[in-house]
Homo-oligomer: A and B are copies of this chain.
Amino acid sequence: MRWHDLGDERCPVARGIATIGDRWTLLVIRDCLLGVRRFEDFQTRLGIARRVLAERLALLVERGVLRKVPYSEKPLRHEYRLTRAGHELLPVILALTKWADAHVPHPDGPPLRHRHTGCDHVMSPTLTCSECGEPLDSHNVRAEPADPDSTLLAHARRPETATR
């Protein structure tokens, strides 16, 4: 199977990866969230091949994650800004940040920290249940088929002992 075809899968993880699962895309989004908007700045900060950057930005625009906003006529120049969909990738970035800080730490620690402007505390983003507010982890979340007739694990033997 080719990577491109993941976008047709029903699984949202596959669909998400088809859009932002490229090796560079999430770093582009990260920079966007920090306020970077221009081609040259992305290129300088990321050290990504220009051809690849141009292709990724175009794809993100096509997918509705970024939009091109002109900031100069004569010469016509655009900058890239996050759409609402783009802004909503923040939880993905924060979840990944938290994981990496815990499990692939850098000797000098993280370069940034996050402050919640609502309560003005430096905080750690925490995934919680929308219904009761308790923190989630892999032992208190259970996946179940959305359709009565579908199976949880197509094309795989079930493990003898339940995993979660």
Contact = CB atoms under 8 A, between A and B. Distances in A.
Interface of A: 1, 3, 6-7, 9-24, 26-27, 30-31, 33-38, 41, 44-48, 63-65, 82, 85, 87-104, 106, 108-119, 121, 123-134, 136-147, 150, 152-159, 162-164
A114 B143 contact: yes
Contacts of A113: 143-146
A15 to B, nearest CB: 5
Which of A38, A112, A119, A164 gathers most chain B CB within 10 Å?
Answer: A112
A54 to B, nearest CB: 16
Number of copies: 2
B89 A99 contact: yes
A121 to B, nearest CB: 4
Contacts of A22: 23
Given A91-B95, A100-B13, A127-B126, A132 B106 contact: no
Contacts of A96: 12-13, 16-17, 20, 92
A34 B95 CA distance: 19
A44 to B, nearest CB: 5
Contacts of A133: 128, 133
Contacts of A88: 99, 102-103, 137-138
